[in-house]
C-alpha cells in the first residue's frame, strides 16, 4: 500500500482528494447516516447507537480533514487524528471482546457509502476506487492495533495465571514447600523460584521443598532452573530439597548429563518433610535445646 508522500502528490491525486472532500462534505449528513447504519447493523446493538454515532462522526471529520490537507498519505501527520481515533476504537473493541471482523467493519463499512451506481460519472468512480484503497489501508491498520491489544491482554492474563498457580505453602515451622503441577516452562519456573525464595525470607524459614510429583516431564532448561533455585537458596542460608522425582524424570536428568551433586532428592513430599525436620532438630539438639 504505497501512499504518495506529502509534497510529492500528483496533480491527478490532488484533484481526486479534492473531489472526495467535496462529496463527503456536501453529503455529510446522508453519508454519515449511511455509515452509521451499516456499522450498527453488524454490531447488532452491542454498542449503543448514540456511542457509535459519536465515534463515526469524529472519524468522518478527521477523515475529511486528512483528505483535505494530506491527500491519501494515511501514514503522514495529516492523518494523525484518524489513526488516533482508529487506535482508540480498536483498543476498546478488543477489550470488550469484539471479534476482529466486528472491529474492522466499522472502517470498511465506510467504503460502501460512496459506492458508485450506474449513474456515477467516470471521474467519480475513480474517486471512489481511490477512497476504497484508502479505507482498506485504514482497515488493516485497525486490525493491527486490535491484534496488539489482544496480545497485551493475553499476556497480562497469563501472568496472573502464573502467579495464582504457584502457591508456596508453609508445611511446618521453618519449612516451606511448593508443589509444582503441570508442564513447566522457563518463564514459569523462574516465577516459582523467585516466589519460593521470597517466601523463605518472609516466613523466616530455612528449609524449602520443591515437589515435582505433578510434573510429567522435565527438560534441560527446567532442570537448570531447579538447580539454580537450590544454589540460590543455599547462598541465602537455606536448604532446598527436591521431592517427587519419578523414575522417568530421573532417567531424563541423568541422560541430559545434569549433575545434581549433593542436592538432596526424595521420592515423596512426606520423605522430604521428614528429612527437613530432621535437619532442623539435629541443629537444635546440638545447641542443647536452645532455639
Partner 1 sequence: MSGPRPLPDADHETITIESNDDVVRARQLVRTLAQRCKLSLVDQTKLVTAASELARNTLVYGGGGVMRTGLVRRDSRVGVTAVFEDSGPGIPDLDLALTDGWTSGGGLGLGLSGARRLVDDFTLDTEVGRGTQVAVTKWAR
Partner 2 sequence: MTERVPVLKIGDVLLVSIQVDLEDQTVLDLQDDLAARIVATGASGVVIDITAVEIVDSFVGRMLATTAAISRMLDAETVVVGMRPAVAITLVELGLSLGGVRTALTLEKGLDMLARPDSRPPAKP
Interface contacts to partner 1, rule CB under 8 A: 148, 152, 194
Of 194 and 283, the one with the shorter C-beta distance to partner 1 is: 194
The entry of partner 1, partner 2, none near residue 152 (CB within 5 to 8 angstroms by kind) is partner 1
Contact between 178 and partner 2 (CB under 8 A)? no
Please give the residues from 85 up to 124 whose contact with partner 2 meets the rule CB under 8 A. none
Of 51 and 151, the one with the shorter C-beta distance to partner 1 is: 151
Residues sharing a CB contact under 8 Å with residue 75, sequence separation 6 or more, in sequence order: 3
Contact between 206 and partner 2 (CB under 8 A)? yes
Shortest gap between Cβ of 219 and partner 1 (angstroms)? 19
Residue 11 class from Cβ within 10 Å (0-12 exposed, 13-18 middle, 19+ buried)?
exposed
Q: Which stretch binds partner 2 (CB under 8 A): 147-155, 163-171, 200-208, 267-275?
A: 200-208
Contact between 231 and partner 2 (CB under 8 A)? yes
Q: Which stretch binds partner 2 (CB under 8 A): 10-18, 138-146, 268-276, 279-287?
A: 279-287
Contact 94, 103 (CB under 8 A): yes
The entry of partner 2, partner 1, none near residue 44 (CB within 5 to 8 angstroms by kind) is none
Contact between 235 and partner 2 (CB under 8 A)? yes
Shortest gap between Cβ of 287 and partner 2 (angstroms)? 5
Among 123, 151, 194, 221, binds partner 2 (CB under 8 A): 194
The entry of partner 1, partner 2, none near residue 273 (CB within 5 to 8 angstroms by kind) is none
Q: Which stretch binds partner 2 (CB under 8 A): 38-46, 118-126, 235-243, 251-259?
A: 235-243
The entry of partner 1, partner 2, none near residue 55 (CB within 5 to 8 angstroms by kind) is none
Question: Which residues of this chain interact with partner 2, rule CB under 8 A?
Answer: 193-194, 197-198, 200-201, 204-206, 228, 231-238, 261-262, 282-283, 286-287
Amino acid at each position: 500500500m504505497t501512499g504518495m508522500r506529502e509534497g510529492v502528490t500528483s496533480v491527478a491525486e490532488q484533484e481526486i482528494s479534492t473531489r472526495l472532500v467535496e462529496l463527503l462534505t456536501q453529503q455529510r449528513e446522508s453519508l454519515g447516516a449511511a455509515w452509521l447504519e451499516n456499522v450498527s447493523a453488524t454490531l447488532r446493538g452491542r454498542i449503543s447507537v448514540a456511542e457509535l454515532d459519536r465515534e463515526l462522526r469524529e472519524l468522518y471529520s478527521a477523515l475529511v480533514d486528512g483528505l483535505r490537507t494530506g491527500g491519501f498519505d494515511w501514514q503522514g501527520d495529516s492523518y494523525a487524528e484518524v489513526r488516533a481515533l482508529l487506535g482508540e476504537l480498536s483498543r476498546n473493541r478488543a477489550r470488550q471482546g469484539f471479534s476482529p471482523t466486528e472491529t474492522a467493519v466499522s472502517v470498511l463499512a465506510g467504503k460502501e457509502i460512496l459506492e458508485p451506481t450506474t449513474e456515477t460519472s467516470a471521474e467519480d468512480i475513480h474517486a471512489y476506487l481511490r477512497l476504497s484503497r484508502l479505507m482498506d489501508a485504514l482497515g488493516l491498520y485497525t486490525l493491527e492495533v486490535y491484534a496488539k491489544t489482544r496480545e497485551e491482554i493475553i499476556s497480562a492474563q497469563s501472568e496472573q495465571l502464573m502467579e495464582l498457580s504457584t502457591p508456596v505453602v508453609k508445611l511446618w515451622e521453618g519449612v516451606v514447600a511448593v508443589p509444582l503441577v503441570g508442564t513447566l516452562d522457563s518463564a514459569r519456573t523462574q516465577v516459582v523460584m523467585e516466589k519460593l525464595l521470597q517466601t523463605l525470607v518472609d516466613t523466616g524459614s530455612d528449609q524449602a521443598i520443591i515437589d515435582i510429583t505433578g510434573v510429567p516431564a522435565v527438560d534441560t532448561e527446567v532442570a537448570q532452573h531447579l538447580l539454580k533455585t537450590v544454589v540460590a537458596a543455599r547462598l541465602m542460608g537455606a536448604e532446598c530439597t527436591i521431592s517427587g522425582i519419578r523414575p522417568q524424570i530421573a532417567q531424563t536428568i541423568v541422560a541430559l548429563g545434569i549433575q545434581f551433586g549433593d542436592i538432596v532428592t526424595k521420592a515423596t513430599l512426606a520423605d522430604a518433610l521428614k528429612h527437613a525436620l530432621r535437619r532442623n532438630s539435629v541443629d537444635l539438639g546440638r545447641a542443647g535445646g536452645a532455639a
